[in-house]
Structure 1
Amino acid sequence: MDHNAAPAYGLWSLVIINSLVFIIFAFSFTKPRTSRDWRSFGAFSAFLVALFTEMYGFPLTIYLFSGWLSQRFPGVDFLSHDAGHLLEVMFGLKSNPHFGPFHILSNVLIGLGFWLLASAWKVLYAAQRTHQLAATGAYARVRHPQYIGFIMIMTGFLFQWPTLITLVMFPVLVFMYVRLARREEQDARAEFGEAYSHYEANTPAFFPKFGVKSHA
């Protein structure tokens, strides 16, 4: 890690560009339509803005913990971009953090999350057009693959760049997604009746049973 790197913050153009890129990318997969869709997407977007604000704009977490971090990890320039990968620093990994285990895990989770969003949207969009129950593809494994996708992406970013704000936001957003999922299930029961009850009884909500397919 380069301890003499120039400060990498105050780059507000990068905050805006990165936020827009990921938000538009996610929007292209989810295409929110209802107020419920917009709430879930809006909360996810807020998470991304908070993340990139600390990643490139103002490192609030590093400033608040600067005293402890400097004592615990002497010689580390916490105003360098590399030091913002706090998990790599805390575990004493000296290599380029962009090729470290936490960053690799982050990329895998983010990539899988976006893949899940895309694949789930195709199934959901087709089902909505024909007013049928979405029960194929990712929906054959879990009832709420899109929410799982959002959670995987947020988890990936936390491994890459943990901050106080996003760590506080994460459990709140997970709780919100679970509540939204329960409301969607109520609506689906009302619309599809016994067909959804059968699907619900055979398909887990969030944790797939690999090797076991839904009988919906």
Structure 2
Amino acid sequence: MSELIKDHGVSKLLSLFLLIFTVSVILILTLMPSQVFQREMETEVKSLSSLINETQWLNLTYEVQRIYTNAYVKGGIQQSVEDSLLPKSDYKIKEIVSKFKGEFILNRVVNNIHILSYQMVYRVSMMKFWIWVMLPFFFALIYDGYMVRKIRMYEPRQISIKGSRIWTRSIVYMLVFTFCYLLIPNFLGQKAPWYPVLMLCLTGLAFRNTISNFMKVA
């Protein structure tokens, strides 16, 4: 982990996250038609029911709606966004800002902020759900990696430094992919719910191989 921090400093990661967030938000809010964004989000939520049972799906969607309503709607964020961006009267800005594909650009931005906020709540909640479900899998991988490293401690050959660094850096890539996942719209259609499952499997494998390839101490 020290190597992870050394090679990829916290400031570098935060700068990268900020860049990804800024670019993604600008593109999504201005270029993504709200109706398309909404439809893709609904497709992603509905298709999750094919992976989990009905009770789990209902509980998860209810929890997402509860958090979104309490934090975003009742918390005043939704109203603040609309008050800040939408003209309250017939300002000249309505004449200056042209319509974008038939949709007033400020209305699009406001609607997409609402949808993006729901998407982030939904995907964070779904990640938490899968982490709990896959917890035994993660423990098994970590334990396996520890046992492999323990065996290698008694071997005369040194563990590959290059291999260790590759798997260590892969954890950073997984963090970046996870952050991107929270922001990007659903371009996978019905297969969207499989993405976090695959990502968590790869993350567990990366931790397992990082532990097993951790360099021996002389």
Which bracket does the TM-score occupy, shorter chain normalised? under 0.3
Instruction: State the TM-score, normalizing by the size of structure 1.
Output: 0.27
More helix by share: 2
If you compute each CA radius of gyration, which structure gives the higher value, 1 or 2? 2
Normalised TM-score (structure 2): 0.26
